[in-house]
Amino acid sequence: MSAFVSAGAGFLLAVLWFDLMFDVQVLGRGDGELPEPVLESIASYYRRVTTAARPMNRLIATVMVATLAAIVVEIASSELAPWIPLVSLGLALPPVVLAGARTVPSAVRLGARTDPRPRQSALARAIFREHVACAVAIAGLLAVQLAFA
């Protein structure tokens, strides 16, 4: 199962990397409204990957669920030291829940560009922070799986 968990984590980390390539445009811009070209760039990206990419956008959610399922199988199999799959679950579950509950809905909303610019700027900054937190957790998951499983 470790290979499946590692593959899922690697895929998710790659997706986060692509997201962060757009998200970093918020850095160094202060707390006010982001410039229109920055908002347009980030919003266009999220419009493409969350809305226009159907049905391929479902692949990410499928990999998240499959990765969690593989970790549950690791827990049930008792082939690894018990802490490895438990730590893995602790590293994988929060980013998946965060993505489903906040990040993806925020990205869809930002991609629609229906909110006032101050709200769009706040969404872009929140998405960036959430993606950084998720990337750290998923990188930790991958490290645990590669080093110990």
Tens of pLDDT, residue by residue over 28-48, are 998 899 999 999 999 999 999
Give, as one character, the DSSP assignment of residue 26. Answer: G
Q: Is the pLDDT of residue 1 over 80?
A: no
Residue 52 structure tokens: 């226009």
Give residue 78's pLDDT. 81
Burial (CB < 10 A; 0-12, 13-18, 19+), residue 145, is buried
Give residue 108's pLDDT. 97
- The residue ranking higher by pLDDT, 88 or 149, is 88
128: Cβ contacts below 8 Å, ≥ 6 apart: 20, 23, 24, 26, 27
Whether 70 contacts 10, CB under 8 Å: no
- Give me the number of domains the chain comprises: 1
Domain that holds residue 25: 2-148
Q: What tens digit of pLDDT does each residue of 87-142 get?
A: 999 999 999 999 999 999 999 999 999 999 999 999 999 999 999 999 999 999 99
Residue 138 CB neighbours (<10 A): 25
